[in-house]
Each structure stands twice: as C-alpha cells, then as structure tokens.
Amino acid sequence: MSSDLLLSAKGINKTYSSSMHPIATLRHALFGGKVSKRDEYPVLKNIDLDICHGETVGILGRNGAGKTTLLGILGNVIQPTSGRVERYGRIATLLGLTAGFNVNFTGRENAYLFCSIQGLTRNETDQRIDAISDFADIGRYFDLPIRTYSSGMQARLAFSCAVHVDAELIIIDETLAVGDANFRMKCYDRIGQMKREGQTFLLVSHNQNMVANFCTRGIVLEGGAKIFDGNTMEAVEEYKRIRTESMGDSELEGKLLKRNDGKSKLPKDVVIRDIELEERQETEEEVGVISATLVARRDVGPVSVNFGIRNQHGIVVCALDGLQTGFIISGLKKGERKNIEMQFSKRLLPGKYYFSTTVHELIGDVKKPQDLRQNAMSFEVLCDSAMSGIADLGMGVKLAEANSE
C-alpha cells in the first residue's frame, strides 16, 4: 500500500429494492434471503477508486448517476451491496445540508456531536468551538435548534464543522451550492488555503467551473458506472458531452452513454464542418473570427448556434447563446449549406484556449442539440504581458494629481 493512499474502494456495487412491500422489506432486513431480480435497482456498478494525500477530486454526473450514494459509501454512511472500502485516516463527510445533524439540537450541540463522531474528545472540541462559530457566522442562531435554520445557515454550520476537525479527507456533496455568494467565496478561499497546506478533498458538484478551478482530478459517473477518471478538463468535457447528448434524444435518458467507437449519439441532421480561425482588423480593434459551415442532412426547421471558449484548465472564458442574441437561421433544406462566422475580441492573456460549438434545432420553445464539436480547435496566445489571469481588461496604475487647496 502506498503511504500516500487515504482511501481505496474496489468493486463497489449498490443495489436497492424498487418494489418490495414494506413488510417484505422488514422481513428481508431481519432474516435475509434473496430479493427477486425484477425488484432490484442497481445504483452503482463495479466502482474502483483510489484517493491519495493532497488530491482534490471532483465527481461530476447527472441527477441519478449515483454520486451521493458513492460518497455515502466512501464516507462509511451507507454500506455497499458488494465490494470493499479501506480507509487510512479520519474522513469528514457532508452529505446534504444537515450532514447528520439532529434538527432538534442547537448549532453548538450539533457541532459537538459532529466533532465527537469524528473522534475528537470534548476538550479538543472545546478548543475548536469558537473557531467553528466564527467561521459559520450565524450569530445567535448558533445556540438555537437547527430546525429554525435556513438552508444557507445549515450549509454554513456543516462546512465550518468539517474544516475544523483536522480530517485527512473531507467529502462534500453539493453543500457549497446553497448559501449566499459571500459565504461561497469564503468557502472557496478556505478550500484554496487548505489545498495549499496539503488537505485532501472529494467534491461533488454540478458547477463545472468550480471543479475545473479547484480539482486536480475529475471523475464522471453515468448510469451508476464510472466512465471517466483523469484530467479535470477532460472530465468536464465528458460531462458536458453526456448532458448535451441526453438532451438530444429523450430515449438516452438514464442510459449509459459511451463513445467506444468515437461516434456521437446526437441526431446530426445538421452538422458543423470546416472550422477555421483567422485574425481580422475591424475599425480600431483586432478580432478573432471562427468560420464554419452548417450542412443539412434533411429538411430542418429553425436552427441556432452556440459557441464558447475555455482555457487550458477547462474554465469558461466566454460563451454565447445564439438564440438569445437573435441569431436564428429560419430553416435548411436537405443538402443546403450555410457559412457562419463567430467573432470575439482579442483580449485574452497568454495561454492555451479551446473552442467548442453546438448547433440546435428549434422545436417550439425547446432547443434540440444536433451536433456538438467539443474542443474543435485550440489556439495559443503568445505575448509579453504584465498582467495575469484570463482577459486583458486594460488595467493600469498611475499617480493621481494632488488636489490644490
């Protein structure tokens, strides 16, 4: 075993009963016995996962993909149907807003309860309780029952407890998705600080930018199976592909989407071809122009095009919804071609960037994806700049003139 290994899961499966009568469920729990196959609902399928010290692992997946169940098993809150999990350190687990709290206890009492579950003594919790209260910043509510809390206040208390118990691994399931923007920024700052100090995190989020910005590794679940584990940007792109393809065909809902043959499952009645990038000078500004051709494979109704640019970390720099700008092609006949140009100001700072685009058929008030070109091209910005970040906002500094008396 590697000395850096904090958690190792092998062959994790979880199956729930979907239609057993309550009495039958109780009988099965007490006396065991086999459940009919038709009553079984598999939630997780043969998941293998290792987490090492210092990693920040992000898990992405659509609703029902098995993310929360997997975190519950890894955090020893849920027992797997089969498989094993080996843990080599203290793990703090936040599943949902209440994080295992007793809603009739006060925030202070629940903080003591949480720390006790994590193995801290009363004296050790006494030394942390003021810091937990200060970070949660919920004022007098800290001594009121949790049932009186808003969802944001519950998230504050849960996160504050988790980051003060000195756990080797912190597991967080969407807790940061609630609460006000100021508290989320406070949490992100704390996560960044703890990452620099070597803290290990396992995060579930639908926020792709958060995963791209904070995580060192990305995992994608679909249909209860792990379909990707690796580079964060590639994980984000795989998640986006799954979401887009499932929108393109209602029959794909809930199915495991794979690209073993490298082919997309989108309808592709309208396809995007011949993508090229060039630079132009318009008035006083230099712009980038991405040209492409839309080709209709059948008669289609109105279509629109979205496009966006990401940096090398998978963070969206800018994206445009063609429909919202009013860019609508009224319709295409089979075999018809339309040339389009997508333009952006050249304000990017040095780095590598990736261009993606999607064409939608408009059916009533629904946008049905037809073709998706993820990372259709990459380009690099090379220049000497005193600025850092993503975009050149023309920042400058100078001495202000003193006011004369």
- Give pLDDT tens digits for 272-297: 999 999 888 777 778 889 999 999 99
The set of residues, in sequence order, having a beta carbon less than 8 Å from that of 187 and lying 6+ positions away, is 159, 176, 179
Residue whose C-alpha is closest to residue 279's, from 338, 327, 348, 325: 348
Q: Other C-beta atoms within 10 Å of 98: how many? A: 18
CB 175 within 8 A of CB 97: yes
Quote the CA–CA distance of 368 and 16 in Å, as a whole number. Answer: 33
CB 31 within 8 A of CB 53: no
Which residues of the chain, if any, have pLDDT below 50? 1, 249-262
List, edge to edge, every strand of the sheet that includes 82-87. 40-52, 5-17, 82-87
CA angle (73 as vertex; 60, 66 as ends), nearest 5: 35
End-to-end CA, the chain: 74
Of the options 3.50.50.60, 2.60.40.3500, 2.40.128.280, 2.70.50.60, the CATH number for the domain spanning 270-381: 2.70.50.60
Q: pTM of the entire structure?
A: 0.72
**Segments of the chain assigned to CATH 3.40.50.300:** 5-246
Residue 229's pLDDT is what? 93
Residue 86's pLDDT is what? 93
- CATH code of the region 5-246: 3.40.50.300
Residue 177's pLDDT is what? 61
Residue 367's pLDDT is what? 83
Query: In a 3-state reduction of DSSP, which class is residue 342?
Result: strand
Quote the CA–CA distance of 201 and 203 in Å, as a whole number. Answer: 6
CB 156 within 8 A of CB 183: yes
Residue 164's pLDDT is what? 92
**Segments of the chain assigned to CATH 2.70.50.60:** 270-381
Residue 90's pLDDT is what? 87
